[in-house]
Amino acid sequence: MRVLSDLVMQSSAIVLNDDQDFPATPRIGQFCFTDGVLYIYATLKGISTWYPLTNKSLYYVHAQGIASLSWSVAHNLESQDLIMMVYDEYNVVQLATEFEFVDANNINILFTEATKGRAVIFAATDEYGAGGSSDSESVVPKIIKTNYTAITGDVLLVDTRLNAVTIYLPASPVLGDEVFCIDGGASWGTNNITINGNGNNILGDLEDLVGDISVRSFCMIYYDDPTIGWTLKYF
C-alpha cells in the first residue's frame, strides 16, 4: 500500500505559458498542460508524440459574496456542456439542489439554504477532439460515502467524514480514460480514501494508493501501457 502524501511521481507535469514550446527532449509518460489541454508524451504505433488527453477547456469562476438560495451566474462560455464545482465560504464542496440553464451563457445555481462561496465552471470545446454541443447534458458530480466502482468520466465527491472509502477504478480502461476524485467532506486526513486499480497497475505497481491529506483533489488518467497503467495528476 502506498500513501499519496509520501508519493514520488515517476513522471512529471509541466505547465506552459502561451509563449513556450513543448519540451525538446520529453520522457515517455511525461505530462504537459498548455492552452487548456492536458497532453501525455506516448508512443502510438511506433511513433512517439504528444497525445491530447482532454479537449480544450474554458473556465469561469463566480464569486458569491452574499448568501443566497439562488446564484445567478453569467459565465459567457457559449455552452451548456459544463462541469461545475461549487464551494462554500470555507472551501468545502457543496451539492447544489438544481442547475437551471437560462441560455448558453447564463445559469442559475439553486440551494436548499442560503449559501455564499464560489463556483468554478468548465466548458468543453471541440478543439483537439470530440467536444460537447449546446444541447449536451452537463456532467453531474456523484457524492460517494461508501466503497464504489468508478466508471470512465466519473467526477466523485468522496465524503469520508463517517468512514474510510475505497474507489475501484474501471477494470477495462483505454488510453485517456479519466476518473476525478474530490475531498467532498474535507476529511481524507481523518478517514482516508483508497484507490484500487481493479486489476490494473497504478503508477507501475499493483498496490493501492491511499490519500491522507484533506481538501485535495486529483485525476486518475489511464496510460495505454499495462506496465504503467493509471497515472495521477493533482489539482
> What pLDDT tens digit does each residue of the chain (235 aa) get?
555 554 434 445 555 655 566 777 887 777 777 766 777 777 655 667 776 666 656 778 899 999 999 999 998 888 887 878 888 888 787 878 888 999 888 999 999 999 999 988 877 655 433 333 333 344 567 889 999 999 998 889 899 999 999 999 999 999 888 998 988 888 899 999 999 999 999 988 899 999 888 877 888 999 878 888 999 876 4
State whether 150 and 232 are in the same domain: yes
The model carries a pTM of: 0.48
Examine the domain organization and report whether 161 and 222 are in the same domain: yes
In a domain, 131, yes or no: no
In this structure, are 75 and 47 located in the same domain?
A: no
- The predicted pLDDT at position 225 comes to 81
Question: Domain check: are 150 and 194 in the same one?
Answer: yes
Q: Is residue 193 part of a domain?
A: yes
Residue 28: which domain range?
Answer: 10-52
Distances (CA, A) of 59 to 20, 77, 121: 21, 7, 5
Domain tally, the chain: 3
